[in-house]
Chain A
Amino acid sequence: MKLAYWMYSGPAHIGTLRVATSFQNVHAIMHAPLGDDYFNVMRSMLERKRDFTPVTASVVDRHVLARGSQEKVIENIKRKDKEETPDLVILTPTCTSSILQEDLQNFVNRASQNTEADVLLADVNHYRVNELQAADRTLEQIVKFYIEKFEKENSIKKIKTSNPSVNILGPCNLSFHLQHDIAELKRLLKDLGIQVNCIIPEGASINDLKLIPQAWFNIVPYREVGLATAKLLQNVYNMPYTKICPIGVIDTANFIHEIEEILANFNYQKNFQDYIDIQTRFVSQSAWFSRSIDCQNLCGKTAVVFGDSTHASAITKILSKEMGVHVLLSGTYCKHDEIWFKKSVSDHCDNVLITDDHNLIANMIASLEPSAIFGTQMERHIGKRLNIPCGVISAPVHIQNFPLSYRPFLCYEGSNQIADLIYNSFTLGMEDHLLEIFGGHDTTQIGIEQFYNHQKDGLTWNDEAKNELNRTPGFVRNKIKRSIEKFATKNNINIITLEVMYNAKELGET
């Protein structure tokens, strides 16, 4: 048992559901008790999705415990097949079904004999993998299932496109700034004269999977989801894939060079150097920003970075290589990616931390006292407690990190966004610091003193009433106090008691 109240990555089934619901016309059925369909709320709230989340639960209740869930699961699969006519139904195990140890694969086999849809059992173990690993595996599992199926049908398109083209692997819903990143990546590829063949799974239909091998190579924008699929496709179709994530001007350039190399192996010679130069110097503002006086002031400032492995490593490198910020600590909660993470950041920070214990990070931040933090929502709140500014650079995030406006993290526009984020975090910290030195804002003080000194002649509050008043939220307390005193004066009452308060509330206008 582990005492915990915060986790960086969710349970395995969330990863499976993220991948399943990113496809078009794929329905997931969770084998879970009532209340476990919380994923629907997250997708509907955080991403403000306009359509019903294609996830239903096959509810595990007492009857299921007594009789087994066989008939129920099969019935639910058949029902969804009729109601929604999906291409694929994914039966998703949860922690509960893991313990029940029913033969879910058998249910899937039986159900699929009576359905138009294909039926798959997500091959994830709740106790062995987390959300991100499960998403990676589920995507690989679906792609594998369909390329095998389509190979048998001979319906797969194997002839490469005449112009260079790519598949983008891994983008799925509830990812950090995903929609903006895809748009930015597409823009870059268009500039490079490369067409996008498929994006999988976000927005893809099952039939799109037939087209996979006609792309020249694959792009995996984030390490967390899509790598397994990229490796599978390398083995099966000998498709190369990119290993660099284009975050920050340096790594965007490296990413473009990586593409250059892959294209060269197809005997397609391209030189993108001029493009990189112009983008870096004139389109992106971030490289110029690094040169500017503003950024000079950031030199040697200290920071702590924490997040998923893709974002934490990228931001660490931007801070240290592009902005001259001293990264005291760089860490990730992706424990399964420890080796890669260490290798990629160890030259750019003093210490590397691999953990999913938020208390440990809080303690490290408290003892290192950086001038800014770049992390998840949890680090933002740690920063609030310690009065250290924080820029949010990675999931898990709140609704405010699903912005309506264009906020990519990838490629050249992404580098501008990140520069703003970094600069704003540090200057805010500076501003606070200066205010403190010069005595702070004094307006809040004025309000408070007025509140406590404000005492109508001949009016007293008894203790009970005072306590009750103190329990009201601070921002309305003054208003409530005034209106109760008004009521008391009007009714010639000298001592304000609980009774007076309630009468005031009922008869007065509070």
Chain B
Amino acid sequence: MLKTPNLNKSSTKFECETGNYHTFCPISCVAWLYQKIEDSFFLVIGTKTCGYFLQNALGVMIFAEPRYAMAELEEADISAHLSDYLELKRLCNLIKKDRNPSVIFWIGTCTTEIIKMDLEGIAPKLEAELGIPIIVARANGLDYAFTQGEDTVLSSLVNSNNIKTKQLNINNQIPKQNLILFGSIPNNVVNELTFELKNFGVDVYGWLPAQRYTEIPLIKENDFVCGINPYLSRTATTLMRRVKCNLIGAPFPIGPDGTRAWIEKICSVFNKETPLLKEKEQNCWKKLSPYLSIIKGKSVFFMGDNLLEISLARFLIRAGMIVYEIGVPYLDKRYQGAELLLLERTCLELNVFLPLIVEKPDNYNQLERIKDLHPDLVITGMAHANPLEARGINTKWSVEFTFSQIHGFNNSKNILDLICRPLSRKTNLQSLGWENYSAHA
């Protein structure tokens, strides 16, 4: 078990624990992806356990006739008394009749992995019979955590031969090397980021995913691609290896510092100047100043569950916070290379110690370390939040960062909004004097 870290200023330290931590199952990605890709349908092929998770995790969304469903496996499916092909055909026919989507995503789960259901083999056959593209993504809890679900879906999209071409502008000739950004974010944030780059003369050719499946851009050899989320390493690899794209390795546009570094990196690739970008960043920080005075000098502990942790920690350090530990489910040091460098540089410039990065953390051990360090804020999953609050430790629910708009200059304040809420609540309640609500502490 890791002991409470010593202050470390030389270089980033990485540790790996047991992987016994709480996180969402990666199938949760259907929640935001079905909303993002408006003409899609997501079919999660799994058991009651998967269905129960989705039903509870998605809350009221489930009542809004979502474009996703479970193909619930029964005993006869497991023991192969029924043909997977015929069963899936029956269900997909129903989906086609009721919803008529432009694409059906099959989300493979732990169960389909263990019984080795040949989804990739069945899909092309059914696709031909149904006339609807079927894309298979293995977003299971055996291999992946939470947001990595989106990574598997996007990399399957790249892998599929079905990506339709749609020229955005027929009159203009398509430039030789297009820029395509990947990562699913709400459409207004897409527009904002596209606009930021356009300001400096960089045109975004398309986004993966687009608002509709039929609008997903054609990605071809030598195109430039850049990720906007830290958990898309598989998609990046697929784009580089399968399509032979050039990956722009940049920090992620989270926080004003990250956004500026992201724009600078992309612009440098296209040989564009970035006049007034620094001023823009400073202006953004200025607007954040009411928040900064609240968080300055406060300490944070990331238990880790959604892979946004390193970017968020880097932003919070720049904003004046002290980060003790960055728990993270999985770290691709190559894909996150630029982000890790920026984290190191940030710590160096501010002359603060480098946080410990703990991959595959062990929640039990982390709770011991939290007890020792008593941080001002623990960013954690809902399983630990209330028990920690009952022990007088402030928490922020990590999943909220996944579902909020956090990219670009303008949305930086949303992140600090989330961070400040528990901190200012504590100030409000402090005068009451009741801190400890646990009978067992």
The interface of chain A, by Cβ under 8 A from chain B, is 1-7, 10-11, 13-14, 32-38, 40-42, 44-45, 48-53, 56-57, 59-62, 65, 83, 94-96, 98-100, 126-128, 130, 378, 381, 384, 398, 468, 471-472, 498-499, 502, 505-506
Contact = CB atoms under 8 A, between A and B. Distances in A.
Given A3-B71, A10-B48, A498-B195, 17 more contacts: A2-B71, A3-B94, A5-B62, A11-B47, A34-B23, A35-B26, A41-B57, A44-B382, A45-B386, A50-B437, A59-B20, A83-B364, A95-B111, A99-B114, A126-B47, A126-B48, A468-B188
Interface string B214-225: 000000000000
B406 to A, nearest CB: 15
B122 interface: no
8 contacts: A3-B71, A5-B62, A11-B48, A38-B52, A45-B386, A49-B387, A61-B143, A95-B48
Contact of B195 (A4, A11, A502): A502
A1 B82 contact: yes
Given A35-B53, A38-B53, A50 B26 contact: no
Nearest to B145: A34
B207 interface: no
A1 B77 contact: yes
A42 B188 CA distance: 32
A398 B439 CA distance: 26
Contacts of B111: 95-96, 99
B47 A95 contact: yes
Contact of B383 (A6, A10, A40, A502): A40
Contacts of A62: 142-143
A49 B438 CA distance: 9
B21 to A, nearest CB: 8
Nearest to A13: B49
B48 A7 contact: yes
Contact of B72 (A4, A57, A471, A499): A4
Contacts of B49: 11, 13, 32, 36, 94-96, 126
A92 to B, nearest CB: 12
Most buried by A among B26, B56, B71, B73: B56
For the complex of A and B, the 9 pairs showing the least CB-CB separation, nearest first, are A35-B25, A33-B141, A40-B383, A50-B390, A381-B63, A95-B47, A1-B87, A11-B48, A35-B141
A34 B51 contact: no
A95 B45 CA distance: 13
Nearest to B364: A83
A474 to B, nearest CB: 15
B387 A52 contact: yes
B440 A42 contact: no
A266 B75 CA distance: 48
Interface in B65-93: 66, 68-75, 77-78, 82, 87-88, 90-91
Most buried by A among B49, B56, B146, B191: B49
B19 interface: yes
Contacts of B230: none
Nearest to A380: B63
Given A35-B24, A38-B25, A10 B52 contact: yes
B433 interface: no
Contact of B78 (A41, A127, A130): A127
A256 B381 CA distance: 46
A50 to B, nearest CB: 4
B438 A60 contact: no
Interface string B371-408: 00000000001111111001000000000000000000
Contacts of B114: 65, 96, 99-100
B70 A4 contact: yes
A206 to B, nearest CB: 17
B23 A35 contact: yes
Interface residues of B, number: 73
Contacts of A51: 387, 390, 438-440
Contacts of B440: 51
B439 A37 contact: no
Nearest to A7: B51
A1 B71 contact: yes
Interface string B13-36: 000000110111110000000000
A202 B146 CA distance: 32
A62 B114 CA distance: 10
B68 A5 contact: yes
A130 B73 CA distance: 14
A60 B410 CA distance: 41
Contact of A506 (B73, B74, B409): B409
B115 interface: yes
A35 B146 contact: yes
B55 interface: yes
A65 B142 contact: yes
Contacts of A128: 75
A9 to B, nearest CB: 9
Contact of B62 (A6, A38, A42): A6
Given A1-B72, A51-B390, A468-B191, A44 B78 contact: no
A384 B60 CA distance: 12
Interface in B259-310: none
A348 B341 CA distance: 72
Contact of B110 (A37, A49, A60): A60
A127 B437 CA distance: 40
A33 B381 CA distance: 17
A338 B187 CA distance: 49
Contacts of A94: 49
A241 B330 CA distance: 53
A37 B55 CA distance: 14
A13 B48 CA distance: 10
Most buried by B among A96, A498, A502: A96
Interface string B173-185: 0000000000000
Contact of A59 (B19, B52, B69, B115): B19
B311 interface: no
A506 to B, nearest CB: 6
Contacts of B144: 34
B39 interface: no
A96 B22 contact: no
B383 A34 contact: no
A126 B110 CA distance: 14
Contacts of A499: 195
A6 B78 CA distance: 21
Given A1-B91, A3-B94, A99-B114, A44 B195 contact: no
A61 B360 CA distance: 13
B203 interface: no
A60 B56 CA distance: 22
Interface string B110-121: 110111000000
B131 interface: no
Contacts of B142: 33-34, 60-62, 65
A52 B144 CA distance: 25
A176 to B, nearest CB: 15
B1 to A, nearest CB: 10
